[in-house]
């Protein structure tokens, strides 16, 4: 058992089938880190499984009992799951697989596989006891898949900024995403009006000259504009503005490389398959939608940053994604996706679900979230504009509020 101030950690590694439908295809390892308050180590506490966002995100590595984890360990043993393909679980690698084999491998990293892994963990680590879950962003998508496939394993579900549209296609999602990102751009330029001219100068220079990032990738206008993916976080505007204060400096180039390089998370760039779920091919929906939103034109004034939209150019321009380019095209054309959500089972759901819906969320549309809340049984929502998408990380008030809702205190 590892110790940090106020906390004790125990790592649990389980071997699970790579393909739960075809166990003969081999196995992978999945790691989850147990976190318990130092003064409650020997107590019989309920479990709280944390489901990180992304897809492909890695859960926090806490150093002390603060933030939402500090709040949660007052009442629970927290289990921080490194979802398959991430963290200390068997990592995702293109290896020497053919594009078709790689595409098939990537499909085994959907929410249904994560749920099946979690059920094995529940049996082996929690002794089969029903547990609570906390799903942040994409973790809420996994929660809906969990409630669809194995609700018997769940006691209470908390969701922060992550109620998905149960029937929304990728086209539906991006039709709503572009206007929200445009609104965030407008807020950014209101906060920092001088940055509009800086952004245009940088874009013009990138279009005219070959500017290289430290890893050798060319910094293109498209990649520069992807910095807008930060705009939905509480710190996003300030972080981008700080970068723009040192345009094209070594510091700027290093930070842009790190922020847009997908070095630790190629699954995040493949996120359109989150919206496929038995609805036919996504066919690069964000890219197809771009011409429908002229405010994002390359010659628009001011030049707008893009947000959490993934484009084919990324798999040509970004070194960490190039090995996945052909597989990404195969996934974009696939029309045989599994149904991740069961509308019938969700409508009859009896597991309490407490969900924070962020009214101004750039990444997960609040309207779609509320439609889902109305369609799923036993869901209570807290709609708030006090927090951005990272509210659960920014303040322990979010988890506190949801737990108080579950306890009937709100």
**Mean pLDDT for the stretch of residues 336-346:** 95
Split at pLDDT 50, 70, 90, the class of 19 is: very high
User: pLDDT digit string (tens) for 291-320?
Assistant: 999 999 999 999 999 999 999 999 999 999
Residue 3: is its pLDDT beyond 80? no
Kindly indicate whether the domain formed by 2-166+341-406 is annotated with CATH number 3.40.50.1820: yes
245's tokens:
């204060």
Rounded-to-integer distance, Cα 36 and Cα 69, Å: 9
For 347, residues 6+ apart whose C-beta sits below 8 A from its C-beta are 375, 376, 377
Split at pLDDT 50, 70, 90, the class of 277 is: confident
Rounded-to-integer distance, Cα 325 and Cα 342, Å: 31
Query: What's the number of CA atoms in the CB half-sphere (13 Å) around residue 164?
Result: 32
Residues 338/278, Cβ–Cβ less than 8 Å: yes
| Structure-token match 């809702």, residue found | 405
Whole-number percent of the chain with pLDDT over 90: 96
**Mean pLDDT for the stretch of residues 356-385:** 98
Find residue 29's DSSP bridge partners: 15
Q: Where are the domains of the chain?
A: 2-166+341-406, 170-333
Least confident stretch, 67-76, 128-137, 199-208, 272-281:
272-281
Question: How big is the chain by its Cα radius of gyration, in Å?
Answer: 21
Strands (E), 182-241: none
372's tokens:
């889902």
User: pLDDT digit string (tens) for 160-198?
Assistant: 999 999 999 999 999 999 999 999 999 999 999 999 999
Find residue 356's DSSP bridge partners: 160, 382
Find residue 31's DSSP bridge partners: 13
Residue 224: is its pLDDT beyond 70? yes
Q: In what order do the strands lie in the sheet with 353-358?
A: 2-4, 7-17, 27-37, 77-81, 47-51, 131-136, 154-160, 353-358, 379-384
Instruction: Identify which has the larger pLDDT, 338 or 255.
Output: 255
* Average pLDDT in the chain: 96
Active-site residues: which are they?
137, 336, 389
Rounded-to-integer distance, Cα 270 and Cα 11, Å: 28
pLDDT value of residue 1: 65
Residues 175/289, Cβ–Cβ less than 8 Å: yes
**Mean pLDDT for the stretch of residues 235-251:** 98
pLDDT value of residue 135: 98
Least confident stretch, 61-65, 145-149, 326-330, 373-377:
61-65
Split at pLDDT 50, 70, 90, the class of 391 is: very high
For 54, residues 6+ apart whose C-beta sits below 8 A from its C-beta are 83, 86, 137, 138, 265, 267, 268, 271
**Mean pLDDT for the stretch of residues 371-391:** 98
Rounded-to-integer distance, Cα 289 and Cα 270, Å: 17
């Amino acid at each position: 058992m590892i110790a940090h101030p106020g906390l004790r950690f125990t790592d649990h590694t389980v071997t699970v089938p790579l393909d739960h439908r075809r166990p003969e295809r081999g196995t992978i390892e999945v790691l989850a880190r147990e976190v318990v308050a130092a003064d409650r180590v020997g107590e019989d506490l309920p479990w709280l499984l944390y489901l990180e966002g992304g897809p492909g995100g890695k859960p926090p590595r806490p150093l002390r009992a603060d933030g939402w984890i500090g709040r949660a360990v007052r009442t629970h043993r927290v289990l921080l799951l490194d979802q398959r393909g991430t963290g200390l679980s068997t990592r995702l690698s293109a290896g020497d697989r053919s594009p078709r084999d790689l595409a098939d491998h990537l499909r085994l990293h959907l929410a249904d596989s994560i749920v099946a892994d979690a059920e094995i963990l529940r049996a082996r680590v929690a002794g089969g006891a029903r547990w609570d879950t906390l799903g942040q962003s994409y973790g809420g998508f996994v929660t809906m898949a969990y409630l669809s496939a194995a609700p018997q394993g769940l006691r209470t579900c908390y969701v922060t900024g992550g109620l998905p549209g149960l029937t929304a296609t990728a086209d539906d999602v991006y039709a709503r995403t572009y206007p929200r990102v445009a609104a965030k751009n407008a807020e950014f330029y209101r906060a920092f009006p001088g940055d509009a001219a800086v952004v245009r100068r940088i874009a013009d220079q990138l279009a005219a000259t070959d500017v290289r990032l430290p890893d050798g990738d060319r910094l293109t206008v498209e990649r520069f504009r992807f910095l807008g993916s930060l705009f939905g976080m509480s710190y996003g505007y300030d972080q981008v503005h700080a970068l723009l204060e040192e345009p094209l400096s070594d510091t700027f180039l290093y930070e842009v490389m790190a922020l847009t390089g997908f070095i630790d998370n190629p699954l995040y760039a493949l996120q359109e398959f989150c919206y496929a779920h038995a609805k036919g091919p996504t066919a690069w929906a964000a890219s197809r939608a771009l011409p429908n939103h002229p405010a994002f034109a390359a010659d628009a004034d001011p030049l707008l940053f893009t947000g959490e939209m993934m484009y084919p150019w990324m798999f040509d321009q970004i070194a960490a994604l190039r090995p996945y380019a052909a597989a990404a095209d195969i996934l974009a054309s696939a029309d045989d996706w599994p149904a991740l959500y069961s509308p019938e089972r969700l409508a009859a759901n009896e597991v309490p679900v407490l969900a924070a819906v962020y009214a101004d969320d750039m990444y997960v549309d609040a309207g779609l979230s509320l439609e889902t809340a109305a369609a799923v049984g036993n869901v209570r929502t807290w709609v708030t504009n006090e927090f951005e998408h990272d509210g659960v990380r920014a303040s322990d008030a979010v988890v506190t509020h949801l737990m108080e809702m579950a306890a009937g205190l709100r």
